[in-house]
Structure 1
Amino acid sequence: MTGPLHRLKIVDLSRVLAGPYCTMILGDMGAEVIKIESVDSGDETRGWGPPFVEGESAYYLCANRNKQGITLNLKTQQGLEILKKLVRDADVVVQNFKPGTLDRMGFGYEEMKKVNEGIILASITGFGTTGPYSHLPGYDYIIQAMSGLMSITGERDGQPAKVGVAIADVLTGLFTCIGILGAIQHRNRTGEGQEIDISLFDSQLAALVNVASNYLCSGLIPERLGNAHPNIVPYQVFAANDGDFIIAVGNDRQYRKLAILLEDEALLIDQYKKNSERLKNKSELEKIISAKIKTKSRAEWQALLDEAGIPNGPINNVKEALDSEQAIAREMVVIVEHPTVSNLKLVGSPLKFSKTPVKIDTHPPLHSEHTEEVLMKLGYSKQDIVKMRKDLII
Structure 2
Amino acid sequence: MTDPILPLAGLRVLELGQLIAGPFCGQLLGDFGAEVIKIEAPDAPDPARGWGAAKVDGQSLFWPIIARNKKSMTLNLRTERGQAILKDLVETADVLVENFRPGTLERWGLGPDVLRAINPRLVITRVSGYGQTGPESHKAGYASVGEAKGGLRHLIGEPDRLPARAGVSLGDTMTGTFAALGTMMALFARERTGKGQVVDAAIYESVMAFMESLIPEYALAGHTRERTGPILPKIAPSGVYPCADGLVIIGANQDTLFRRLSAMCGKDWADDRRYATHDARGENQLELDEKISAWTRQHPVADVLARCEEHGVPCGPVNTARDMLADAHIAAREAIIKVAHPLLGEVPMQGVFPKLSDTPGRVDRAGPALGENTSEILAAIGYDEKAQAGLRQEGVI
Question: What is the TM-score normalised by the length of structure 1?
Answer: 0.95
Question: Which residue type is aligned with residue 373 of structure 2?
Answer: H
Q: Cα–Cα, structure 1 residues 42 and 145, in superposed 2: closer, same or farther, change >3 Å? A: same
Contact 1:267 1:285 in 2 (8 A): no
The partner residue of 1:79 within 74, 82, 87 is 82
The alpha-carbon deviation at position 56 of structure 1 amounts to: 3.2
The partner residue of 1:95 within 88, 94, 98 is 98
Structure 1 unmatched runs, 5+: none
Structure 2 unmatched runs, 5+: none
Q: Cα–Cα, structure 1 residues 284 and 337, in superposed 2: closer, same or farther, change >3 Å? A: closer
Moved more, 104-113 or 239-248: 239-248
Q: Which residue of 1 aligns with 2:70?
A: 67
Asked if 1:283 is matched to 2:279, the reply is no
The partner residue of 2:331 within 309, 320, 328 is 328
Distance in 1 (alpha carbons) for counterparts of 2:340 and 2:287: 56
The number of equivalent residue pairs is 394
| 2:365 alignment partner, SS class | coil
The alpha-carbon deviation at position 175 of structure 1 amounts to: 0.4
The partner residue of 1:299 within 284, 297, 302 is 302
Q: Deviations over 1:131-150 (max 9, x none)?
A: 22211111112222232212
Q: Which residue of 1 aligns with 2:247?
A: 244
Q: Which residue of 2 aligns with 1:110?
A: 113
Q: Deviations over 1:126-185 (max 9, x none)?
A: 011222221111111222223221221112222210111000000001000100010011
The partner residue of 1:2 within 1, 5, 14 is 5
Asked if 1:233 is matched to 2:236, the reply is yes
Contact 2:147 2:203 in 1 (8 A): no
Q: Which residue of 1 aligns with 2:133?
A: 130
Moved more, 130-139 or 68-77: 130-139
Asked if 1:189 is matched to 2:192, the reply is yes
Contact 2:258 2:270 in 1 (8 A): no
Q: Percent identity?
A: 37
Contact 1:15 1:44 in 2 (8 A): yes
Q: Which residue of 1 aligns with 2:59?
A: 56
The alpha-carbon deviation at position 124 of structure 1 amounts to: 0.3
| 2:200 alignment partner, SS class | strand
Question: Which residue type is aligned with residue 178 of structure 1?
Answer: L
Q: Cα–Cα, structure 1 residues 231 and 21, in superposed 2: closer, same or farther, change >3 Å? A: farther
Question: Which residue type is aligned with residue 24 of structure 1?
Answer: Q
The alpha-carbon deviation at position 297 of structure 1 amounts to: 2.8
Distance in 2 (alpha carbons) for counterparts of 1:323 and 1:155: 31
Q: Which residue of 2 aligns with 1:209?
A: 212
The partner residue of 2:27 within 17, 24, 28 is 24
Contact 2:157 2:229 in 1 (8 A): yes
Moved more, 121-130 or 359-368: 359-368
Distance in 1 (alpha carbons) for counterparts of 2:70 and 2:384: 23
Question: Which residue type is aligned with residue 104 of structure 1?
Answer: R
The alpha-carbon deviation at position 50 of structure 1 amounts to: 5.4
Question: Which residue type is aligned with residue 336 of structure 1?
Answer: V
Moved more, 27-36 or 358-367: 358-367
Distance in 1 (alpha carbons) for counterparts of 2:357 and 2:214: 35
